[in-house]
Structure 1
């Protein structure tokens, strides 16, 4: 059922120093090594587990046989420094990962665009019309729109103008469509139609027009008369820039996406990543960019890896636990820290209010798992018939471990499945011994 460090199945490219070579060097030098984003004791031979890890493996063997989890389960636990597989269970089986998909999306976005990238919303003037141009910023707020309107109004008054028409240009992204595996009822509930202009995280069917109308109201409050209704169209050449707003850095946007599991941010990032890699801003373009980044930049195997969107809402998505763990394992590499550290920092922490692992969601609140509050950070995933929990935890032995658990088609209630996965994470931490 399970396997320890001798298990095969990993297909990652060698790192700058491969785990096997690194272990040899460590044994020869008999010296401690700095591991991942963290400091850890020296590594151990590839064909053995420490007593602590053997206990974790044995406990997981027992606890995965749980009626709340069911039989369709993929899981794996790695040592973050040595890449030793401590435990696995059908780790190569591709299952519906739900929002664990966002880990792949975040990795690609940060790599292609860079953690300092900012999304820019502009206002331009031409022939009696102000056009607000969307730049894919899903974090734009009412205050931001008000500041844009104030600057635009000041520019108009300085030119002796007090009457304009308002238009929105959200043509950076193509007309919204449903991803494969999405249903129409996702809209206004789980995700917004993917547009390049939106306001306050709205799930409105037309977030572009909604933002434009808010801009028009703010102009009116600045004493500018707005003629007619807000229209949609592309700003032409020769327009005059009058206002601009830049979002927070992408690193901050990624943290927000992961903490809240924000589907709409994820889909905007997928399109921006596609554009940044020279591809069309579509689901297919974004997916192609993600696959290329993961495989060519980070050496993650694309075997059995199928995604149709950036958020994980698609019921057609399939990712093995091993692949999810490999994505997270790359986050722990010192060479990747400058680019990917916001993924580590954005993972919800067990018991963290306001995140998807907060007490308001009933996470890590059972007798088995509450010991791991503050000790586990992980990305959640929830769809009807699918639950996932993948992340990092530092054990009592000082070693960081990467884990990925994906469960599909459990007969148990969703809350019970989550409790079971929380228990497995507490087992990896070692506090539930």
Structure 2
């Protein structure tokens, strides 16, 4: 965007309401905010060097040389509050949303908000400060924290070490490790064994990077292992099994044996020691790619793994509690996102105890429209499913944007989906015909219509925001 005279707005954000965190505005048509806060290095760069940045009230963002935008929380709005804007298009959109949000398919417990990211105004608000179950929209918070703490180029490492007659496969939190990657690790390890004159070996797995899996608040063991697997630091091909680490170790042992080295006994657990000799390693693709995959397919397992790796990135325990503490800290202290009525217990949004207002989800997405955050958070925008995009959660195989009212928005809306029993959400971005960003979030809880009908109604709301369903 062109650089013209700046006008700094000192207003504060009211959840569900009128203004958001302080932004430096630019004059001129279509001009975005000035770059005020550079994000050249991950938040954790200083924290990793010593004690946790959370100790003694320290701020990891400040430790890395960043300052958070000023933030003060306002009084929550309790009803529909549509700000007056010049331009009949926005007024018509707001009027249409006022009518369409009352669609019986959405039920009575529904909230929503539409922001004009370019003018920093709220165009439409329907109980936007009400905290509802966000379902997988919670992954937006997880992704934001992971990219900020670890950095978009961060890679996860899986290692093989040898000691006392045992090859140990050491998990490093890589949820994208494939069978081909494992085969390459085995080939390299076997080559080293043969060079050393060894023809037999034991195989063990080390997944001690994460503690023993537990259930998050709001989870039940019925989630395991299909909806989400117990969270461990080692997995291959994303297998949904009770013990992903031993499963990966067994696959590794077969690959080793297939190359002529005898594997003695069953795969066990053993912690790698400093005296063990490194024999092979594999590094994942960059975190940016992992985040894109997580969002496109709404992968619960990736989300929960990233939550733990984010916690470790600033020296916190690799647990649900440690991870969500970091998420809250990054959102509030680094980005000035409102945490009023915000409650999360996991990284995936599977917890039925999670609560996030539509206003907060929209504020998170609004960050993606700011140039100053493009380097760090750009993969979130890239990862948001596009309406009608096959292979994503907004693809035709899921029956999305195929209603007569929403078909016009195919290819024009990017949004994160969210679906739990009793909770459906859709939060994303779209551009007007003149190229202006519109950020929206819609969340419903407790609607009794068929999920496909609820989603059709929500897709229609998104098409309304785009303006194609006028």
TM-score (norm 1): 0.92
Query: 2: CA distance between counterparts of 1:326 and 1:140?
Result: 33
User: Any idea what SS the aligned residue of 1:377 has?
Assistant: strand
Superposition misfits of 4+ residues, deviation over 6 angstroms: 5-8
Kindly report which structure 2 residues correspond to 1:23-422, keeping only aligned pairs within 5 A, or say none: 26=27, 31-35=28-32, 48-422=85-459
Residue aligning to 2:76: none
Query: 2: CA distance between counterparts of 1:120 and 1:147?
Result: 14
User: Any idea what SS the aligned residue of 2:31 has?
Assistant: strand
Query: 1: CA distance between counterparts of 2:150 and 2:438?
Result: 28
Query: 2: CA distance between counterparts of 1:100 and 1:69?
Result: 17
Residue aligning to 2:17: 9
User: Any idea what SS the aligned residue of 1:138 has?
Assistant: coil
The answer (yes or no) to whether the contact 2:432–2:467 under 8 Å persists in 1 is yes
Q: RMSD of the TM alignment (CA)?
A: 1.6
Query: 2: CA distance between counterparts of 1:141 and 1:340?
Result: 26
Query: 2: CA distance between counterparts of 1:239 and 1:7?
Result: 53
The answer (yes or no) to whether the contact 1:198–1:210 under 8 Å persists in 2 is yes
The change in CA–CA distance for 1:131 and 1:368 in structure 2 (over 3 A counts) is same
Residue aligning to 2:75: none
Aligned length: 410
Deviation at 1:98, TM superposition (A): 0.1
CA deviation vs aligned residue, 1:143-196 (integer Å, no higher than 9, x gap): 000000000000001111111000000000000000000011101221010000
User: Any idea what SS the aligned residue of 2:89 has?
Assistant: helix
Provide structure 2 residue ranges, at least 5 long, that are not aligned to the other structure: 1-12, 35-82
Deviation at 1:49, TM superposition (A): 3.5
Deviation at 1:35, TM superposition (A): 3.1
Provide structure 1 residue ranges, at least 5 long, that are not aligned to the other structure: 38-45
Residue aligning to 1:40: none
TM-score (norm 2): 0.85
The change in CA–CA distance for 1:36 and 1:213 in structure 2 (over 3 A counts) is farther
The answer (yes or no) to whether the contact 1:11–1:301 under 8 Å persists in 2 is no
Query: 1: CA distance between counterparts of 2:286 and 2:315?
Result: 21
Query: 2: CA distance between counterparts of 1:219 and 1:83?
Result: 58
CA deviation vs aligned residue, 1:364-394 (integer Å, no higher than 9, x gap): 0010000000000100000000000000111
